[in-house]
Amino acid sequence: MIAVDTHILARFYCDDPDDPEAIRQRPRARRVLLESTAILVPITVVLELEWVMRGFYDVAPGDFCAVIEHLLGMPHVTVERWDVVKDAVDLHRGGFDFADALHWAASAGCDRFVTFDDRKLVRRARRLARSPTVSLPD
């Protein structure tokens, strides 16, 4: 099994015809993802991939979710904590920031998830009434 970095996934999923380095790297990234027999994608790579796709490539949330669902569906690819990533993708598709969604989903089993992000996370999370509860610190 090999583990891949964000750059490999970004080159695989994002076509960047104006970047000479991307043009050189994309075929190699495709070979890694399509020809390797077993691949591990660390959860931190998924988080960074969302940041790169949103911040650098201006990819819409729905398109990012489709990328991760494609990745989760590749039989030779293991996404670390895939259940948490899938949950975060569903929350992101529902309007949550992906990082917030991933943090919250990874906190399953805890009594509370505490944050200062009242507007974007606490209020939205309360409407879902799921565990763990999201709240401001006491």
Q: How confident is the model at residue 136 (pLDDT cuts 50, 70, 90)?
A: very high
Domains defined along the chain, listed by start: 2-106 (3.40.50), 109-138 (no CATH)
Predicted local confidence at residue 120, as pLDDT? 84
Predicted local confidence at residue 119, as pLDDT? 80
Would you state the structure tokens that stand for residue 122, as one six-digit string? 């606490």
Q: What is the mean pLDDT of residues 58-71?
A: 97
Residue found under tokens 């259940």: 83
Give percent of the chain above pLDDT 70.
100
Predicted local confidence at residue 118, as pLDDT? 84
Task: 110-119: list long-range contacts, CB under 8 Å, 24+ apart.
Answer: none
Q: What is the pLDDT of residues 7-44, one digit of tens each?
A: 999 999 999 999 999 999 999 999 999 999 999 999 99
Q: What is the pLDDT of residues 67-94, one digit of tens each?
A: 999 999 999 999 999 999 999 999 999 9
Q: Say which range, 48-52, 93-97, 114-118, 127-131, has the weakest mean pLDDT.
A: 127-131
